[in-house]
Amino acid sequence: MKKILLPVDGSDFCLKAYDIAISFAEKFGAEIIVLNVADIEPGFTQTFITQNFQTMDEYLKARAETIIEGAKSKFEGSDIKVTFHIATGDPAAEIIDMAEREECDMIIICTHGMSGAKRFLIGSVASKVVHHASMPVFVIR
Protein backbone atom coordinates (compact mmCIF):
# COMPACT_ATOMS: atom_id res chain seq x y z
CA MET A 1 0.00 0.00 0.00
CA LYS A 2 1.55 3.24 -1.19
CA LYS A 3 -1.26 5.85 -1.19
CA ILE A 4 -4.34 6.34 0.97
CA LEU A 5 -7.05 8.85 0.14
CA LEU A 6 -8.68 10.44 3.17
CA PRO A 7 -11.71 12.59 2.28
CA VAL A 8 -12.59 15.01 5.09
CA ASP A 9 -15.57 17.27 5.63
CA GLY A 10 -14.61 19.00 8.87
CA SER A 11 -17.19 17.16 10.98
CA ASP A 12 -16.54 15.50 14.31
CA PHE A 13 -17.83 12.25 12.78
CA CYS A 14 -14.54 11.94 10.89
CA LEU A 15 -12.10 12.27 13.78
CA LYS A 16 -11.55 8.48 14.00
CA ALA A 17 -10.71 8.39 10.30
CA TYR A 18 -7.56 10.45 10.90
CA ASP A 19 -6.26 7.99 13.50
CA ILE A 20 -6.97 4.98 11.31
CA ALA A 21 -5.37 6.59 8.25
CA ILE A 22 -2.27 7.47 10.27
CA SER A 23 -2.09 3.93 11.63
CA PHE A 24 -2.30 2.41 8.13
CA ALA A 25 0.24 4.88 6.75
CA GLU A 26 2.72 4.13 9.55
CA LYS A 27 2.35 0.36 9.17
CA PHE A 28 2.70 0.35 5.39
CA GLY A 29 4.90 3.40 4.83
CA ALA A 30 2.10 4.94 2.78
CA GLU A 31 1.42 8.50 1.78
CA ILE A 32 -1.90 10.10 2.76
CA ILE A 33 -3.80 12.36 0.40
CA VAL A 34 -6.32 14.49 2.29
CA LEU A 35 -9.21 15.78 0.18
CA ASN A 36 -11.99 18.20 0.97
CA VAL A 37 -14.73 18.56 -1.60
CA ALA A 38 -16.51 21.89 -1.44
CA ASP A 39 -20.17 21.18 -2.01
CA ILE A 40 -23.10 23.60 -1.88
CA GLU A 41 -25.13 22.83 1.22
CA PRO A 42 -28.92 23.13 1.49
CA GLY A 43 -28.56 26.06 3.93
CA PHE A 44 -26.04 27.79 1.69
CA THR A 45 -28.11 30.90 0.90
CA GLN A 46 -28.57 31.84 4.55
CA THR A 47 -24.89 31.29 5.35
CA PHE A 48 -23.85 33.17 2.23
CA ILE A 49 -25.95 36.19 3.17
CA THR A 50 -25.08 36.24 6.88
CA GLN A 51 -21.34 35.96 6.34
CA ASN A 52 -21.24 38.59 3.58
CA PHE A 53 -19.15 36.67 1.11
CA GLN A 54 -19.02 38.43 -2.24
CA THR A 55 -19.26 35.26 -4.30
CA MET A 56 -20.20 31.64 -3.87
CA ASP A 57 -16.65 30.65 -4.84
CA GLU A 58 -15.27 32.87 -2.07
CA TYR A 59 -17.50 31.19 0.50
CA LEU A 60 -16.63 27.67 -0.67
CA LYS A 61 -12.90 28.43 -0.78
CA ALA A 62 -12.89 29.93 2.74
CA ARG A 63 -14.81 26.98 4.17
CA ALA A 64 -12.56 24.42 2.44
CA GLU A 65 -9.40 26.19 3.61
CA THR A 66 -10.65 26.13 7.20
CA ILE A 67 -11.31 22.39 6.96
CA ILE A 68 -7.89 21.73 5.42
CA GLU A 69 -6.15 23.79 8.12
CA GLY A 70 -7.90 21.66 10.74
CA ALA A 71 -6.79 18.52 8.91
CA LYS A 72 -3.17 19.71 8.83
CA SER A 73 -3.12 19.93 12.61
CA LYS A 74 -3.93 16.19 12.85
CA PHE A 75 -0.59 15.34 11.22
CA GLU A 76 1.68 17.69 13.17
CA GLY A 77 4.74 15.87 14.47
CA SER A 78 4.19 12.96 12.08
CA ASP A 79 6.78 11.70 9.60
CA ILE A 80 4.05 10.61 7.20
CA LYS A 81 4.03 12.26 3.77
CA VAL A 82 0.69 14.08 3.54
CA THR A 83 -0.66 16.22 0.73
CA PHE A 84 -3.80 18.33 0.89
CA HIS A 85 -6.27 19.02 -1.91
CA ILE A 86 -9.49 20.95 -2.35
CA ALA A 87 -12.02 20.14 -5.07
CA THR A 88 -15.47 21.50 -5.90
CA GLY A 89 -18.40 19.43 -7.09
CA ASP A 90 -20.23 16.26 -6.27
CA PRO A 91 -18.34 14.80 -3.28
CA ALA A 92 -18.62 11.11 -4.25
CA ALA A 93 -17.57 11.73 -7.85
CA GLU A 94 -14.66 13.97 -6.83
CA ILE A 95 -13.44 11.43 -4.25
CA ILE A 96 -13.51 8.59 -6.77
CA ASP A 97 -11.86 10.72 -9.47
CA MET A 98 -9.05 11.79 -7.11
CA ALA A 99 -8.47 8.20 -5.96
CA GLU A 100 -8.18 7.00 -9.54
CA ARG A 101 -6.08 9.94 -10.74
CA GLU A 102 -3.63 9.56 -7.84
CA GLU A 103 -3.65 5.74 -8.13
CA CYS A 104 -4.62 5.32 -4.49
CA ASP A 105 -4.59 1.84 -3.01
CA MET A 106 -7.36 2.57 -0.51
CA ILE A 107 -9.94 5.15 0.46
CA ILE A 108 -10.63 5.69 4.16
CA ILE A 109 -13.93 7.52 4.57
CA CYS A 110 -16.26 8.28 7.44
CA THR A 111 -20.00 7.92 7.38
CA HIS A 112 -22.35 10.11 9.36
CA GLY A 113 -24.63 7.23 10.23
CA MET A 114 -27.78 8.60 8.61
CA SER A 115 -31.01 6.76 9.18
CA GLY A 116 -32.24 4.43 6.47
CA ALA A 117 -34.94 6.83 5.25
CA LYS A 118 -32.64 9.83 5.00
CA ARG A 119 -29.89 7.78 3.34
CA PHE A 120 -32.44 6.42 0.85
CA LEU A 121 -33.79 9.87 -0.01
CA ILE A 122 -30.57 11.86 -0.33
CA GLY A 123 -27.92 9.16 -0.62
CA SER A 124 -24.76 8.82 1.36
CA VAL A 125 -21.41 9.97 -0.02
CA ALA A 126 -19.74 7.00 1.66
CA SER A 127 -22.28 4.61 0.17
CA LYS A 128 -21.76 6.00 -3.32
CA VAL A 129 -17.99 5.74 -2.95
CA VAL A 130 -18.23 2.13 -1.72
CA HIS A 131 -20.41 1.15 -4.67
CA HIS A 132 -18.44 2.90 -7.41
CA ALA A 133 -14.77 2.99 -6.37
CA SER A 134 -12.39 0.60 -8.08
CA MET A 135 -10.19 0.21 -4.99
CA PRO A 136 -10.93 -0.95 -1.44
CA VAL A 137 -12.90 1.48 0.73
CA PHE A 138 -12.55 1.38 4.52
CA VAL A 139 -15.66 2.97 6.07
CA ILE A 140 -15.48 4.44 9.58
CA ARG A 141 -18.65 4.86 11.55
pLDDT in tens, 80-126: 999 999 998 889 999 999 999 999 999 999 987 554 444 444 458 89
Q: Read off the pLDDT of residues 14-61 as tens digits, 9 standing for 90 and up.
A: 889 999 999 999 999 999 999 999 876 555 555 555 556 567 777 788
Global pTM reads: 0.85
Contacts of 38 (CB under 8 A, 6+ apart): 60, 61, 63, 64, 86, 87, 88
Q: How many residues does the chain have?
A: 141
Pick left, alpha or beta for residue 108 (phi over 0 → left; psi -120 to 50 → alpha; otherwise beta): beta
